[in-house]
Structure formats: C-alpha cells, structure tokens
Structure 1
Amino acid sequence: MDLLQQLQQANYSGTALTGSEQVGYQQLIAGAIAIRLQYPQLQKQAIALHYTTLPSFLIALLAFDGWSSALYLLPETALDIPELVQQWPSETSVKQHSAMHSTIGSQETRWYLATSGTTGTPKWIAHTFASLSRAVKISVDQSTLHWGLCYQPTRFAGLQVLLQSMMSGACISDCSSGDAEQRIEMMLSSDVTALSATPSLWRQLLMTGRLHQLPLVQLTLGGEIADQGLLNKLSTLFPSARILHIYASTEVGVGFAVSDQKTGFPLSWLGTNHSGLAFKIDGQQHLWLKLPHTPDSNLAKRLDSEGYLDTGDLVHIQNDRVQFLGRDSGVINVGGNKVHPEQVEQVLLQIADVLQAKVYAKASSVLGQLVVADIVVVANADHSKLQPLLVEHCQQQLARYQIPTRFNFVDSLSTNATGKLSRKEPHG
C-alpha cells in the first residue's frame, strides 16, 4: 500500500498543515489524484522532486509514491542525478492528458535521499516507503500533535517528521527556514506542541530565551550526539513532556529511540533484538546494526557475513550504557593519537558560561593536526577569566592531546542544511 492509499483508507478530515495557507488532508489527497490524472506519462518514470512550498511538496509525495519507479528528493546542494530522471515541478509544462487514467498505485517506488555530506561527499541512498515509515507511531495522542518542521523536507530527518505527522493525522507547520528567533516566532504563532531538531538547533532555540513559551509535549533530538547537560535543560523546561533522542541516518534509516533521558543507550540492548534491530560492537569500537530491511546496494561493502551493517559510528561502554563518541571519519589525528571532536565538545559544554561549542582540526606541519575550539558564551562573560577556566577544566577531564590548542570566542556557530555542525576545517 502506498502513502496515498494509506491516507485514503485513514480518511482523516482535519487540518494537515498550517502556515501561509491552511490545508486539509482531503485537499492533499485530491491534489495528488489530480497530478496522477493530469500527467499519466509520469507513471513508472523516475522523478526528481524540488521543494517549493510544503503543500505542493506533500501533494507530490502522495502523487508519486507508488506511481513513479523512483523518487529523488533534491537537496539544496548540487548532486548528480541520472539523465533520464524527470524534474518536478518541471520548468516547462507537461502536456495535459485525459482524466480517465487509473489512479491506483501499482509498484514499489524507490525513494532516493541525499546524505548530509557532513564529513564527506554527499551521495544518494535508496529507501522504500515501508522502510522510511517503519518507526511511525499512530495513536490518538499522536494525532493531536502540532509538529514544527525544523529540518528541510527533502532530507531524511525532515521526511521522518512529515511521515509521522501525515500518517498519524496530525498537523504540521514549516519552520525549516530562518534563524532561531524567526523559527520561535513561527512556532509560537502556530501553537507547535511537538518538535524534532538536532542538539545544535535545540541549543540555538534555548539561546533565544523563549523556548519555554512553547507548549511542547514531545521533544525529539537527532542527527548529533545528545549530551546530558542538554537533556537535563530540556527536561527542566518541559518536565511533563516526552523527550526522545533518536539514532538514525540517511544510510541506515530509522534506528532506535531512547526515552529515559540519559545519554547513549542501555548496555542490555547489545546482543538482543530491540525495535527490530540487533546490535554489536567490534574491536575498533564501531557500532554495527542488523536492520529489519535490506539496505541500499551501495552499502553492501559495509555488511558482514551475518548481515550486520557498519554504521561508521564509534562508541564505548561506560558502566551500564553504550556512549557515542562520534563518526570514525571525523576523528582528529594529533601525532598518532585519535581525538573525537564531540567528546571534547561535551566537556566544554559542562562549563556553565558555554552555550555552544564546535571542535575541529587545524593542519599542523609537526603533528599532522591540532585541536581547535570555537565557542559561544553568555553575553556578559569575561573572556580573559573564562580562558584559563576552560583550560583547567579540560586538563581535569581530557588527555593532553585532546585539549584544544586555541579557543576562539565567536558570536554564533553556523550549521549546515541538515542542522548539524560541519566537521570540515574552516578555510583561511
């Protein structure tokens, strides 16, 4: 059953999204059927979908899933697609055909999503509607939520929020553009009650001083490591809310959610089947997952003989938890010693005056790479006094080679299109 058929069967009658215009579920369904009727020659074709507005994007998703053979969700960055793929919306209008063509989906569409490219070149990863919607929760409580969409809709994380909202009959508002202040304004005007964002964006929203004004009942963190300090702050602001941090990626799909408001995940999950997944850790501290579906063929070289997929994420066991260290590809090499940027950032964020931190490598002719930190601090912080405090704290918590050689005090930290801090070394 495709997405359109599922919504037709659910027969939701309420509002699907709000913003510049309010659109109901039945309007989305009617719009999708109209596209299929108007452009029958697109059936069984590969389509590249541009994002224009949220209503038109949702209608196109409904129209092309189960209708086209492949659906490429174009990110804002340039990424090659096959020449035979047709662009939608097209720059030139497609000739209208008879409206007597069948609207029943008859095939499984391959959804192609682009990886973030945080630590490398973006690439296309194939999914199906079934694999993308595996973690969707449908319940009465979910249907009453009003989601704020903070991720770009063509990205994996954004698509997860859209599918959760649509398939549960909830409402959603597009808050994926603008700075933190502008996004808070959008959320407040729409009475957003559910939000999914990266830890970096959650910190930016906290810095506005207005996050507590939102009537949030569900908070989700994903895309980056959620540190205990951030989880504690959000729990204090929203003591009655459901707070989850999710492990997922464009490559592996939806992994698992942790709801106990502790970093990492329980050690007891290793060697067991949890949420349809099996977990293990190899000798190089890589986390491996056995997925409930067949992963993209491009990932075949990362599968072992048992069908486990190397996630490329490094972890370590601490007491009764498995804690994330960061991406293997993001490790900083300081004279042969490995430094995990996220681990250093979590130490810096333990200082009360530090609001955001970004740790990255700087090329060194002697050691290969050096550790540098850009930090955002509270408005009235005395940099001359904070600098030695940072050094002393790092000396207590980190090995010598992990300590940043320089602290840059900056006004803000930019994030990439997926809401994550970029791990690439700044130019200049």
Structure 2
Amino acid sequence: MNLLQRLQQANYQTTAISGDTAYSYAQLIAQALQLRLQYPTLQQQAIALSFSDLHNFVIAILAFDGWCRALYLLPDTSLDLPETVINWPPTEVIPTAKTSSVSTESALASTQTASDWYLATSGTTGTPKWISHSFTSLNRAVKKSAQVAKLRWALCYHPSRFAGLQVLLQSLLSGACLCDCSYGDAQQRIKLMQQQHINAISATPSFWRQLLMTGQLSNLPLQQITLGGEIADQPLLDLLASKFPHARLLHIYASTEAGVGFAVTDKRAGFPASWLTTPHSDIQFKLDQQQHLWLKSPTPPDASLNSRLDSEGYLDTEDLVKRQGDRVVFLGRASGVINVGGNKVHPEQVEQVLLQHPAVLQTRVYAKTSSVLGQLVVADIVVTTDTDNKTLQLQLLQHCRQQLKPYQLPTKFNVVSHLQTNASGKLSRHDSHTPPSDHQQSKTRNEDQHE
C-alpha cells in the first residue's frame, strides 16, 4: 500500500499542514489525485522531486509514490541524477494526454510495484551518493495513537533529507499537523513555532542548543522532544528534561545509509549495553575490536553498501562506541578522528567535556595541522554573555585536564559569536581550517605540552 492509499484508508479529519494557508488531509489527497490524472505519462517513470514549499512537496510525494517507479528526493546541494530521471517540478513542459486514459479509481488504486525512494547522503563520510529505501522501511518507526495525532510538529530539517522525511512521514501517517520551520535563524524559527503552537520538535543537539540560547524555548508547550543526527550528551538531555518534565524525550540513532536504527527513551546518553545481546525493536547489535558499531536491520540495505556488510548481514555504521558500565556510549565517526602524535582523539568526546562547563553554550572541536605532531586539537566555543574570556581560557583548560588526557587537550580556544550548521542541522566540520574571524579571541598553548 502506498502513501496516498494509507491516508485515504485512515480518513483523518484534521489539519495536515499549517502555515499561511492550512490544508486538511482530504484536500491534500484530492490535489495529489488530480496531479496523477493530469500527468498520466509519468506513470512508471523515475521522478526527481525538488523542494520549493511544504504544500507542493507533500502533494508530489502523495501523487507519485506508487505511481512512479522511483522517487529521487533532491537535496539542497547538487548531486548527479541518472539520465532517465525526470525533474519535478519540470524545467520543460511534460506532455499530457489530450484525453486521459486513467480513471480516478485506477489512479487511486495503482497496482504497480512499490516505488523506490532515493535519498542523498550528506557527504560527511565521503562523496554524497544516492541510497535507495522502500516506503515500508521508511515508515517502520512511525508511531500512532490518539495522543500522537494531537501533536503539532515543527519541520526543522530539509524534508528531502532522511531526518526531515522521517518527521514528515511521522506527521502524515499519524494524523498530526506539520509546520515548515526549516528556514531562518533560531530566533525566526522559534517565533514561528510560537505562532503555530508547536508542541513537537525533532532536531539535532546543535539546533536544540540554538533554540535554548534564544531564551524562549520554555514558552513552547512541548509534549515531544526528539534528538538525532549527532551525539546526544547527558547535560543536554538533563537540561531539556528539567525544562519539560512532562514531555516525552528520546534520542534517535538513524542514518540515510542504515535507515531507522533505534530510539532511546530513558533520558540517558548512549543505549543499554543489554541490547548487544538482546535484539531491540527488531535491530541486532554488535561491536568489533576497532570499537565500530554494527547493526542488522530486518530490511536489507542498499546494494551500494555491500562492501560494509559482513557474512551475517551486519552493516558497519562506521560509528565508534565503547562500553561504559551498563551503557554503550558514542565516541564519534571513525573518519573524524584527530591524530595527535599517533594518539587518536575523538572531537565529539572533547566537545562533551567542554559542554559540561556552565559558561559554554556550544562548541566545535577540530584538527589543526602541526609540523611537529601532525595534528593538534582546536575548539571553537560560544559562551554566555557575562563571561570574562581571559579567565575562561584558564578555567576551561583546568576543566579539561580533569577528564582528558594531555594529548586530547585543546591547544586553542576560539570564542565565537555562533557556530555554523549544515543542511542537516549538524555542526559544520568541513571548514575546520578557516581562520578565526575578527570577533574571535583565542589562547594558544605550546605544542610541546603534548610531547
């Protein structure tokens, strides 16, 4: 059953999309069906869908899932498409039949094979590429209940990205309401959230920190708090839990390549170590000697990932983890390790330590080339407004020394006004060699302190 048929069967009598103009589920279904009838020549074609606004994007995926053989969701960056793929909205006029041979009934009850959905990877682990999914695998984690149907979701991710599509499908398939909050800075977005009475948000930890920095997050009547895309650290989980004690708080592990992994709902960082021996939510786990996390999902991954599968069907996520008591905690991406004189430093681990300091609101840790040690650790930090930066430098160094080894210590702290995030809402790490701006202040330690 495709997406349009699922919504037709559910018969939700509520608002589906809210904004300057609100649309009900019945209106979206009728508009999507009309789009199918208007372009019968697109049946069994491969379509590339670009995002211009939430209303038209939702109509397009409703119309073309189960109608076209493949849907390519174009990201907000350029990525090559197969030559046979047709762009939608079209750059050239697509011929339509003068007298459509497609009836309303057959357009609604298309019997063609389920569409393949293609999503682009972010490129953080290499060149961006297309990964195929099925509609069944994409909606595997959707939750339904009378309470869930009352949620008003803020779409904070680009809907062509895996995380954004998950929010969109969760909203549509549960009968909830969705508002596009994927544009503007944190102040503009939270103002829109207040206007739309948003009570459910899914975002990266980096974006949650930006929302907290506005000082207005507590004005939202949040019932659902979801974190994903980056490591959810304990201080952030504790802060959100204290501000919204009655909200459901969870952090999700998922990726474009692996699909939906798992959700942790106990408000603790990492996940229970018991999941390594007892499958959780039909996902099987294991760790290798290099501390890589491997997952086995009931849905086979895209064929392009076969090189990362072992003989048992487990996929190497290329995320580094370690057992810590009764938990398995995330260290970071294997490809993001900083090599300091032969010692491996995980940027995310240093960031989590820095974020424990009450003056640090956000941080990004990255490598700086060193002629002596190969690489050194550098940290950009956003701090509270009443902070004395000179005093803070020494405080941070002492704070880090209590929890980190000498080679893990940042050699420089750059105090910045803000940190950039990419289209996925994650910290931008590709520009780590960009020199500090005029508004940045830094303090450097001697390189020989690492020797």
Aligned counterpart, 1:171:
177
* CA deviation after TM superposition for structure 1 residue 426, in Å: 3.1
What's the CA shift string for 1:230-276, capped at 9, x where partnerless?
00110111000000000001010001000110000001111221111
Runs of at least 4 residues off by over 3 Å? none
Aligned counterpart, 2:188:
182
Measure the CA separation in 2 of the matches of 1:31 and 1:363: 55
Q: State the AA in 2 paired with 1:146.
A: R
What's the CA shift string for 1:295-349, capped at 9, x where partnerless?
0001101111111110000000001000000110111111111110000000000
Instruction: Find the residue that maps to 2:208 and give its secondary structure.
Output: helix
Percent identity, please: 64
Q: State the AA in 2 paired with 1:322.
A: V
Q: State the AA in 2 paired with 1:51.
A: F
User: Is 1:150 equivalent to 2:168 in the alignment?
Assistant: no
Aligned counterpart, 1:19:
19
Measure the CA separation in 1 of the matches of 2:188 and 2:402: 39
Measure the CA separation in 2 of the matches of 1:70 and 1:333: 42
Measure the CA separation in 2 of the matches of 1:61 and 1:336: 49
* CA deviation after TM superposition for structure 1 residue 369, in Å: 1.2
Conserved? CA contact 1:47–1:85, under 8 Å? yes
* CA deviation after TM superposition for structure 1 residue 287, in Å: 0.4
User: Is 1:37 equivalent to 2:37 in the alignment?
Assistant: yes
Measure the CA separation in 2 of the matches of 1:139 and 1:100: 39
Q: 1:277 aligns with which of 274, 280, 283?
A: 283
Conserved? CA contact 2:41–2:95, under 8 Å? no
Q: 1:112 aligns with which of 113, 118, 127?
A: 118
User: Is 1:369 equivalent to 2:375 in the alignment?
Assistant: yes
User: Is 1:69 equivalent to 2:69 in the alignment?
Assistant: yes
Q: 1:404 aligns with which of 410, 419, 422?
A: 410
Measure the CA separation in 1 of the matches of 2:168 and 2:7: 13
Q: State the AA in 2 paired with 1:387.
A: Q
* CA deviation after TM superposition for structure 1 residue 200, in Å: 0.1
User: Is 1:317 equivalent to 2:323 in the alignment?
Assistant: yes
Q: State the AA in 2 paired with 1:82.
A: P
Q: State the AA in 1 paired with 2:13.
A: S
* CA deviation after TM superposition for structure 1 residue 94, in Å: 2.0
Instruction: Find the residue that maps to 1:370 and give its secondary structure.
Output: strand
* CA deviation after TM superposition for structure 1 residue 20, in Å: 1.7
Instruction: Find the residue that maps to 1:280 and give its secondary structure.
Output: strand
Aligned counterpart, 1:254:
260
User: Is 1:122 equivalent to 2:131 in the alignment?
Assistant: no
Q: State the AA in 1 paired with 2:398.
A: E
* CA deviation after TM superposition for structure 1 residue 130, in Å: 0.3
Bigger mean CA deviation after superposition, 291-300 or 102-111: 102-111
Aligned counterpart, 1:297:
303
Q: State the AA in 2 paired with 1:273.
A: P
Aligned counterpart, 1:215:
221
* CA deviation after TM superposition for structure 1 residue 100, in Å: 4.1
Q: 1:352 aligns with which of 358, 369, 372?
A: 358
Instruction: Find the residue that maps to 1:215 and give its secondary structure.
Output: coil
Instruction: Find the residue that maps to 1:243 and give its secondary structure.
Output: strand
Conserved? CA contact 1:330–1:423, under 8 Å? no
* CA deviation after TM superposition for structure 1 residue 368, in Å: 1.5
* CA deviation after TM superposition for structure 1 residue 35, in Å: 1.2
Q: State the AA in 2 paired with 1:145.
A: L
Q: State the AA in 2 paired with 1:10.
A: A
Conserved? CA contact 2:319–2:331, under 8 Å? yes
* CA deviation after TM superposition for structure 1 residue 361, in Å: 0.8
Aligned counterpart, 1:58:
58
- TM-score (structure 1 length as normaliser): 0.99
Conserved? CA contact 2:41–2:96, under 8 Å? no
Aligned counterpart, 2:239:
233
Instruction: Find the residue that maps to 1:113 and give its secondary structure.
Output: strand
Measure the CA separation in 2 of the matches of 1:426 and 1:109: 42
* CA deviation after TM superposition for structure 1 residue 107, in Å: 1.3
- Unpaired runs of 5+ in structure 2? 436-451
Instruction: Find the residue that maps to 1:111 and give its secondary structure.
Output: strand
